Structure 1
Amino acid sequence: MSDPWKDKLSEEEYRVTRQAGTERPYTGEYLDNKATGNYVCKCCGANLFASDAKFDSGCGWPSFFEQSEEANVVYRVDNSLGMKRTEIVCKNCDAHLGHVFDDGPKPTGQRYCVNSISLNFKGQED
Structure 2
Amino acid sequence: MDRRDFIRNGTLLGSLVAITGIGINSACSAQTTNALADDLPFKKIVKTDAEWKKILTPEQYRITREAGTEMPYTSPLNDIKEKGIFACVCCDLPLFSSKTKFESHTGWPSFYAPIRKINVREKIDKSLLETRTEVLCNRCDAHLGHVFDDGPEPT
Coarse TM-score class (shorter-chain normalised): 0.7 to 0.9
Deviation at 1:69, TM superposition (A): 2.6
Deviation at 1:81, TM superposition (A): 2.2
TM-score normalised by the chain length of structure 2: 0.66
Pairing 1:18–2:65 present: yes
TM-score normalised by the chain length of structure 1: 0.81
Gaps of 5+ in 1: 111-126
Pairing 1:85–2:132 present: yes
Aligned twin of 1:30:
77
Aligned twin of 1:116:
none
Aligned twin of 2:121:
74
Code of the aligned partner of 2:76: E
Deviations 1:62-93 (A, max 9, x none): 00111103631110001112121110000000
Aligned twin of 1:94:
141
Code of the aligned partner of 1:101: F
Q: For structure 1, which segment, 32-41 or 78-87, has the greater mean C-alpha deviation from structure 2 after superposition?
A: 78-87
Q: Which has the higher helix share?
A: 2
The sequence identity of aligned pairs, in percent, is 50
Aligned twin of 2:51:
4
Deviation at 1:32, TM superposition (A): 2.1
Deviating above 4 A after TM superposition, structure 1's stretches of 4 or more consecutive aligned residues are none
Alignment of 1:103-114 (within 5 A): 103-106=150-153, 108=154, 110=155
Pairing 1:49–2:96 present: yes
Q: Which has the higher strand share?
A: 1
SS of corresponding position for 2:78: coil
Gaps of 5+ in 2: 1-47
Deviation at 1:2, TM superposition (A): 6.3
Determine which structure has greater relative contact order: mean sequence separation of CA pairs < 8 Å that are 6+ residues apart, divided by chain length: 2
Q: How many pairs are equivalent?
A: 108
